[in-house]
Structure 1
């Protein structure tokens, strides 16, 4: 009985966040102050329940050191109904802060919220809010 329940739970989690919203493929050129900014950390996306790939860099704006950005490169993920980018302390979304609703794939930047504590929140998560499912993650190192 336990084994059946476990298999059912895994199957539900894997199928819960199915395609619903279309993500727009983009190649955005970041501003010069981001391009010339200081790279603080880099991570590569690994899949969890869904396919996720690409890399992400944490960049400090050259002109304003208080502004930080996540620069996604060649980013791809399965589509889902309610995908968000989180910064979190671990892959279970402990101590997370929402960065933005995910609407894009490809190469683009997102501004890090001022409330982020990057000394602790080193995991970039692609998270389906509606079903609390981790699509994939990258650890900033």
Structure 2
């Protein structure tokens, strides 16, 4: 009985580890990529200083519980997406990314349980740095923010939207 439990635990751990994807630095610095690939310039932790808030929103849960607020600011002529200290999402997904989405209501415009997305409706900003807490992502210069109405946390591997926030000025 104990051996069976141990084997199950080892198998589950192996599957979990094998489902994670290592993302190279080259993937993070692509520019001009198609909508379903990374167009990320750089990202850092912490809050930006001397930033002008442009839009913000509050996360609602989709596939998994997601909470917190997001805001887009203009800092030194660069667009910056900030997840606040209260941000939190599930640790259950491999390959979680932060995306901008064309729909104002990502969760309401997709179908449960996974809330799948169509490739032409979003742009990947960057891999999610951590599952909770403040995070800052610098947006690529080739992103026209007027084309995107929401921010979402999305599992690229399983096309599952963990949560989304509608951006309001």
TM superposition score normalised by structure 2? 0.61
Pairing partner for 2:90 from 70, 75, 78 = 78
Report the Cα offset of residue 55 of structure 1. 0.3
Question: In the alignment, is residue 112 of structure 1 matched against residue 129 of structure 2?
Answer: no
Ranges in structure 1 where 5+ consecutive residues have no aligned partner: 1-17, 22-27
Given that residues 84 and 100 in structure 1 are in contact (C-alpha distance below 8 angstroms), is that contact kept between their aligned partners in structure 2? Answer: yes
4+ runs deviating over 6 angstroms: none
Ranges in structure 2 where 5+ consecutive residues have no aligned partner: 1-15, 21-44, 107-116
Question: Hey, what does 1:135 align to over in structure 2?
Answer: 162
**Which secondary structure does the structure 2 equivalent of 1:35 belong to?**
coil
User: Paired residues, what number?
Assistant: 112
Report the Cα offset of residue 114 of structure 1. 1.9
Question: Hey, what does 2:79 align to over in structure 1?
Answer: 68
Please list the CA deviations of residues 24-82 of structure 1 after superposition, one character each: whole Å capped at 9, or x if unmatched: xxxx433xxx3211100010000011010000010101x3x2x1111111110001111
Q: Which has the larger radius of gyration?
A: 2
Structure that is richer in strand per residue: 1
Question: Hey, what does 1:8 align to over in structure 2?
Answer: none
Please list the CA deviations of residues 105-139 of structure 1 after superposition, one character each: whole Å capped at 9, or x if unmatched: 20121111222221121210110010101111001
- C-alpha distance in structure 2 between counterparts of 1:29 and 1:125, whole Å: 19
- C-alpha distance in structure 2 between counterparts of 1:120 and 1:106, whole Å: 27
Given that residues 87 and 99 in structure 1 are in contact (C-alpha distance below 8 angstroms), is that contact kept between their aligned partners in structure 2? Answer: yes
